[in-house]
Structure 1
Amino acid sequence: MRLLAFCFVVLLSACHSLPKNNHVPNAINDRTLTRPDPHSMANFEDVVITHLSLELKTDFDDKELKGQVIIQYKKLKPETEYMVLDTRDLKIRRVSAADSNQSLSWKLASSQPPLGSALQIKLPENSAPIKIDYQSRPQATGLQWLTPLQTATGKHPFLFSQSQAIHARSWIPLQDTPAVRFTYQAQIEVPKGLRAVMSAKNSPELNPEGVYSFDMPQPIPSYLMAIAVGDLAYKKISEHVAIFAEQPFLEPAAYEFAKTEDMIEATEELYGDYQWGDYDLLVLPPSFPFGGMENPRLSFITPTVIAGDRSLDSLIAHELAHSWSGNLVTNARWCDLWLNEGFTSYIEARITEKVHGQERMIMEAALNLQGLQKEMADLPEAEQRLSTCEVELDSEDVFSGVAYDKGRFFLEWMEKQVGRAEFDAFLNQYFADFAFQSITSSQFLTYLQDNLISKYPQKLPLETVKEWIYGPGLPDVLYVPVTDRFEVINDRISAWQTGRLRLDEIKTEDWTTQEWLHFLRALPESLDQKTMQALDRAFHFSESQNSEIAHDWLLLSIQNRYQPAYDRLIRYLNSIGRMKLIVPLYEAMMKTDDLQQLGKRIYAKARPGYHPLAQQAVDPVVNYSESGH
C-alpha cells in the first residue's frame, strides 16, 4: 500500500509538469459558496493580476482574436500555489512561464453558465509572469464581428467589444471582476487599411502595416478592457477630444459632440483634474447595444444620439462623468452598481446644468423620474434597492434605472440637505481618497458617516440614508423635479383634448427633445386612429430622425395599432440595435395578439445584425429559437 501511495504521488507530480490540459488539484468548484464576487470564479483574494501584456491578431474570416497574454501578478497570500482565472468559450492552447517558456500545468473546468469556465494554473516557483496562448471563439459574448454590409460605408468589416459586465472573459483570460484593477499594454495586428483602437492611448496615425501599439498606465478593472477595429477616420476637435468614426459619421459627430471640451472643463471645476489624458469618442455602428460605454480614454458612443441639434449629448456628459465615478472609483461588486451609475448620473446632471442650463437638467430629471417610477412598478422589492447584494441576481439584471436614477436622486437629496458647496467638497475628497480603488456600499456608508453624516446628523439621519441604500422604492424625502415647461405642455394637451386648441395652434418651434418626449408621454395611452393620424400629420412623428422621439411615437403606435407607422417601425428595428430603444418595442408587440407575428418577422430579419447582448435580451421576448424562430 505504501508503494502504491508513493507511485501515485510520483504520477501526480509528473502530471503537473505536462504541457497541456492536465489534472491538477480541483480547487475550483469548492470555491462556489465562498467567492467574494459571485460573478467571478477567480481567486483574487489570494493572488491578484497587476499588469497584462496582450499580443493579438484579428481574424475576420474566422471571427476570432488569436495570440497571447502575459500576466503579471502579486501574491496576497505567500502560500498560494494556483491562480484561477475567468474564461468563457476561449480555446487555451498553451500556458507557460514567460521568462523561461517552460510549460505550466493547468486545468480548464467545465462551463458553468453564465460564468464560463474557470482556468486554474499552477504558479511558477519563481513567481515569473504567466504566458497564455489562446484564441477567442466566434460566439464570444464580448465581441461583435460585423460584415461590410453591416457598416456605414459597406466596404470593410468591423469589430468591437463590450466587456461590461462579465464579458471580458470571452476574449481575454483574466480575473473578470471590478474588484481587481491592472495596467495593460497591447499590440494588435489588423488587416491593412483598417485601424485598431483600444481603451488606452490611441495614435491619430493610420499604420500602413496594420500593427498598433497601446499603453494604459492607469489601473482599470476588466470590464473597461475595450477594442474596436474598422475603417475608422479621425478628427481632433479640441485639446482633449478627438472623434474616431466611419467617414459618414465623422462630421456629424464632430458637430454633435462639440461641447465635450466644455463638459471636461465644467467637471474639473466641480470634482478635480481629469486624470486620464485624452478623452476620445468612438462612434460605433448602429448595432452597438448601449447608448455609450465609458471605456477610459475612448468612450464608445451609439450613433443614435446624433440628432443634429446636440439635444442628446447628455449621454456624452454621462460617459465623461464616469472618468471620476466608476473608472476612478469603482464598485467592487456588480450588486453595488449604484456606486458607479448613481454617482455618474448625478454628475451628468451637474455637467448638463453647467453646460446647457438648469432648465434642461430639470426636464431630464423629470423624464428620468417618470421612467424610474414606471420601471419600479414592475420590479420585485429586492431589485428596487440600491445595494442588491443580499439577493442573487445575474450581473446583467442589476443594470436597471434603480442603480442609475434612484442613485442619482439619493445623492441629490444629500446635496440639498447639506448644501451644494458642502456636498461638492465631500465628493472631491471622496474621489481623492478612493482614486483607482474599488469599494462596496458598506465601505461607502462608513466613509459617509465619518465625513458627512457626523457633521450633519440632523440633516442626514442615518436611518434615512440606509432606507435609500437598502430599502425598496423611493423614500418620501425624494425631491421631485418640477419644470414650468412641462406644465405648459400639459395645459396645451388639455386645451387640445377639450377642443379649445387645435394641434396646429400648439407652438412647437422652440421645443427641445425633452419637451417632445414629455408631450408624447403625457398623451393618453389609448387614442383612436383619427387622433393618431392628426398627430402624425401635424408633427410628422413617423418620419422623425430623432431616435428618442421616434421610439416614443412608435411605442404609442403599437399600443394603438396605428398601421401607417409600421413601415417606420420596421426600418427602425432593422437599423439600430440599442437595447434601450428596441426591447420595449418588441415587448409591446408581443403583448398585442395581432402584432405578435409582425414582431417575430421583424426580429427574424433584424436579429443577425444585433449584438449578442441584444439577442440575449430579445430572444425570450419573442420566443425565438434558432430552429423554429
Structure 2
Amino acid sequence: MKKTFLLLSTAFALFTNCKNEKAPEQAQEPTKTYVEESHSFAQPNKAVITHLNLDIEVDFNTEKVSGTATYDIKNNNSNTIVLDTKYLEVQSVLANGQPTEFSLGEFNEQLGKPLTITIKEDTKTISVNYNTTNKTEALQWLSPQQTADKNHPFLFTQGQAILTRTWIPIQDSPQVRITYDATVKVPVELMAVMSAENPKEKTKDGVYHFKMKQAISPYLIALAVGDIEYKPVSDRTGVYAEKSMIEAAHYEFSDMENMVAAAENLYGTYDWDQFDVIVLPPSFPFGGMENPRLTFATPTVIAGDKSLTSLIAHELAHSWSGNLVTNATWNDFWLNEGFTVYFEIRIMEALYGNDRANMIALIGRQDLTEEIEALKDTPEATKLKLDLKGQNPDDGMNSIAYDKGYLFLRTLEETVGREKFDAFIKDYFNTHAFSTLTTEDFVEYLNTNLLQKNNITFNVEEWIYQPGVPDNQSKIVSDKFNNVEATLQKYLDQNSVEDSVTKEWTTQEWVHFVRNLPEDITTDQLAMLDNAFDFSNASNSHIAMVWFEQAIKHNYHNNNVDKNIDSFLTRVGRRWYVETLFRAFKNANRVDEALVIYKKARPNYHSVTAGTIDKLLGYSPE
C-alpha cells in the first residue's frame, strides 16, 4: 500500500548494490535510513529493535498469552524508543534490566497505541512485561469442536499485515527486520511450533524453545499450538497436522522437495534451511501464510489429488520474494505478491508443464478483471503502488497486487526475453537478500540493471503508477481452456452431457467451466450440469466455491445446494472463499439470507475474515 517516500540512504544503497553474498545469520541490516511509515508508530531512525527474546505462556483457560518481550536495541542518540501495541496490557518495562518510565498513547482504531519507553544513550536492552486481551486480533482460540480431531483446543496467530502488535509489543513495520529467540510454555498435551527452528515431537513439560537466526519482518513471527504431529517429506521438508489429517496432508504435499529443488534451479539457494507446512483448522483466514520455515496452510487445499498445491508453490516462492526481499511498507505490497505469483507459476511450469501453468495464470487474469470491475468507482486502488495512509493495509491485499503485479512481470519477461529476465531476477534476490525495498528502489534497480543495460524501452511508470492494465499486457492463452469453453457450449446447445469428455480434466479446467456459465443460464440447465457432475456436493473446495457462487447468483436451489452453502460458509473461514460467496449474496440482493448464515458462522472466523465480511454486509456485532 503505497505512496512515494524517502529512498534508502546512500550508504545502504551502496551496500546492497555491491553485496555479493547473503548473510542469513546477521542480526540486523546495516545502518540505514528507514522510510516514512504510515502504519507504524515506531521511529526506527531514532531507536530500533534488532533482536527479540520472547518468553511467554499460552493459557487456554483465560485465552491469553502473557510474558516478557526483551529486545536488543540500537539507539541513535534518542532518549525514547517507540513500539507498536494494540489491545495489550502492559504491566512493566525495563531498560538495561532496570525499571524505566513508559507511556501508552491515544488509541487509533487501525494502529492501536504507541508504547513510548524512556531510554538512555547506553541502553542496550528493553523488556516489556505484558499480556494479551480478549480483543487481540492476531490470535484465534479454537475449541476442540473447531478442530479436525475434536479432542483438544488449538491456537494460531496471523500477523500480516499489522496484527503482530496485538500479541507482541513490537516495532510493527516490515522494514524493521529482527532475529528472535522464544520460550513458549503450553499445556503438556499440546505442541507449539513457530516460524523458527521447530520441534518434531512433543516435550514432556510443555516448554518449547525456538530460534530464528535470519532477520525477518515482524509480520512473519508466527505461533501455532495444538495436538499436532510431524511427518517428513524429505530431509528439509515436511508437514505438521492433526492426527486425523497427517496422512492426507503428507500425500497432498509430497512434491514439496521437488518444488524447493525447482525453485532453487530458477533463482538460487533456499536460504531458510527448512521448509515445512502446518495444516491449520479451517478457520485460518488465508490459503497460506509464508511464515519462514513453517508455512501456515488452510485445509481447503487438501483435495486428494494434489490439484491445489500451487498454493504451496506460492508460499515457497515467498521464501525469496517477501521473506528474503521484503516490501519496505505496505504501500509496496505488490513487490511481495506480484513477484511471488510470477515465481509460483514458474515453479508449476517446471514441475507440471506449460499447460497447467497457463491455466493457473488465466484464472488469476480472470480474478484481476473482476477486481478491476469491483474497484471501478475507486480506480486509484488499481495502481500497483498504493497510498493507504489512514486505511487498514489489509485493504490493499487483493488481486491488484497479486495478479496485476504478475502480469507486469510476465509482460516484462516477454519483452526482454526469459534468459535475460531470469538472470535479472536471480541477481535481484541475491543483491537485496535480507533487506527491504520500496517500489522506487525496485524501479531504479530495474532501469539500471535490465532496461538500460539492454537498451529496452518499457512503460514501467504506466504499469506501476497508473490505474488499470496497460495495452501492452501479455496475452495468456490456454488451448485446454478453449476446449472447456467449447465443451460447455456443446452441453448447453444439446441440453445433455457427455461426461467422457471431462474424465481427465484438472481442477483448473473445472473451475474455468463453472466460472464461464453464461449470464442467461436457466435453473434447468444448472440442474442438468449439477446432476451430471454433482457440483453441489463437490469435495474440492475451489470447485465448490465457484459453483456455490453461480448457484447464489442464479437463484439455483436444487440438490441440497442451500444446505451445502450454509455448511461451507459455517465450516470454512478462508477469506477469499467466504468473501466471494457473501458478495454473491449481496449482488443478488439476498443480504437477509446472507446475514442469517453469517451470524451463525461469524464465531468460527478469524478477525481478518470477520472484519471483511462485517464491512461487506454492513454488519455491526454486538
Distance in 2 between residues matched to 1:502 and 1:625, nearest whole Å: 46
Distance in 1 between residues matched to 2:279 and 2:345, nearest whole Å: 23
- TM-score, normalised to structure 2, is 0.92
CA RMSD of aligned residues (A): 1.4
Distance in 1 between residues matched to 2:475 and 2:595, nearest whole Å: 39
- One of 172, 191, 204 as aligned partner of 1:176: 172
- Relative to structure 2, which stretch is displaced further, 233-242 or 188-197? 233-242
Asked if structure 1 preserves the Cα contact closer than 8 Å seen for 2:201 and 2:229, the reply is: no
Structure 1 residue 534 and structure 2 residue 528: aligned?
yes
Name the residue aligned to 2:496: 502
- TM-score, normalised to structure 1, is 0.91
Query: In the TM superposition, what whole-angstrom CA distance separates every residue of 1:413-436 from its partner, at most 9, and x where no partner exists?
Result: 111111111111111111111100
Structure 1 residue 472 and structure 2 residue 467: aligned?
yes
- Relative to structure 2, which stretch is displaced further, 516-525 or 386-395? 386-395
- One of 191, 211, 218 as aligned partner of 1:222: 218
Structure 1 residue 57 and structure 2 residue 51: aligned?
no
CA 555–236 in structure 1, closer or farther in 2 if over 3 Å, else same = same
Q: CA deviation at 1:505?
A: 5.2
CA 345–507 in structure 1, closer or farther in 2 if over 3 Å, else same = same
Asked if structure 2 preserves the Cα contact closer than 8 Å seen for 1:166 and 1:177, the reply is: yes
Distance in 1 between residues matched to 2:388 and 2:311, nearest whole Å: 31
Q: CA deviation at 1:270?
A: 0.7
Name the residue aligned to 2:24: none
Identity of aligned residues (%): 43
Task: Give the secondary structure class of the aligned counterpart of 2:94.
Answer: strand
- One of 233, 248, 253 as aligned partner of 1:252: 248
Name the residue aligned to 1:25: none
Structure 1 residue 622 and structure 2 residue 617: aligned?
yes
- One of 190, 208, 212 as aligned partner of 2:208: 212
Distance in 2 between residues matched to 1:41 and 1:35, nearest whole Å: 13
Structure 1 residue 264 and structure 2 residue 260: aligned?
yes
Q: Give the alignment of 1:313-332 within 5 angstroms.
A: 313-332=309-328
Q: Give the alignment of 1:59-74 within 5 angstroms.
A: 59-74=59-74
Name the residue aligned to 2:39: 39
Q: CA deviation at 1:323?
A: 0.3
Asked if structure 1 preserves the Cα contact closer than 8 Å seen for 2:51 and 2:179, the reply is: yes
- Relative to structure 2, which stretch is displaced further, 39-48 or 118-127? 118-127
Asked if structure 2 preserves the Cα contact closer than 8 Å seen for 1:492 and 1:506, the reply is: no
Name the residue aligned to 1:599: 594
Distance in 2 between residues matched to 1:510 and 1:435, nearest whole Å: 42
Q: CA deviation at 1:125?
A: 4.3
Name the residue aligned to 2:384: 386
Distance in 2 between residues matched to 1:195 and 1:206, nearest whole Å: 5
Q: CA deviation at 1:588?
A: 1.6
Asked if structure 2 preserves the Cα contact closer than 8 Å seen for 1:85 and 1:119, the reply is: yes
Q: Give the alignment of 1:167-566 within 5 angstroms.
A: 167-379=163-375, 380-389=378-387, 393-458=391-456, 460-461=457-458, 464-499=459-494, 502-504=496-498, 507-564=501-558, 565-566=561-562
Task: Give the secondary structure class of the aligned counterpart of 1:69.
Answer: strand
Distance in 2 between residues matched to 1:493 and 1:70, nearest whole Å: 61
Distance in 1 between residues matched to 2:246 and 2:336, nearest whole Å: 30
Name the residue aligned to 1:12: none
Distance in 1 between residues matched to 2:388 and 2:108, nearest whole Å: 22
Task: Give 2:531's aligned amino acid.
Answer: R
Higher relative contact order (CA 8 A, sep 6+): 2
Task: Give 1:530's aligned amino acid.
Answer: D
Distance in 1 between residues matched to 2:388 and 2:229, nearest whole Å: 46
Query: In the TM superposition, what whole-angstrom CA distance separates every residue of 1:170-209 from its partner, at most 9, and x where no partner exists?
Result: 0111100001100000000000110000000001121010
- One of 162, 166, 177 as aligned partner of 1:166: 162
Query: In the TM superposition, what whole-angstrom CA distance separates every residue of 1:95-117 from its partner, at most 9, and x where no partner exists?
Result: 0124xx32100000121111000
CA 151–240 in structure 1, closer or farther in 2 if over 3 Å, else same = same
Q: CA deviation at 1:388?
A: 0.8
Task: Give the secondary structure class of the aligned counterpart of 2:130.
Answer: strand
Asked if structure 2 preserves the Cα contact closer than 8 Å seen for 1:35 and 1:41, the reply is: no
Q: CA deviation at 1:390?
A: 7.9
Task: Give 2:271's aligned amino acid.
Answer: Q
Distance in 2 between residues matched to 1:381 and 1:154, nearest whole Å: 46
Query: In the TM superposition, what whole-angstrom CA distance separates every residue of 1:27-84 from its partner, at most 9, and x where no partner exists?
Result: xxxxxxx981100010112111100000000011111101001111112x3x211001
CA 195–558 in structure 1, closer or farther in 2 if over 3 Å, else same = same
Q: CA deviation at 1:87?
A: 0.3
Task: Give the secondary structure class of the aligned counterpart of 2:192.
Answer: strand
Q: CA deviation at 1:227?
A: 0.3
How many residues end up aligned between the 2 structures? 585
Q: CA deviation at 1:239?
A: 1.9
Distance in 2 between residues matched to 1:314 and 1:222, nearest whole Å: 26
Distance in 1 between residues matched to 2:325 and 2:185, nearest whole Å: 32
Distance in 1 between residues matched to 2:475 and 2:116, nearest whole Å: 51
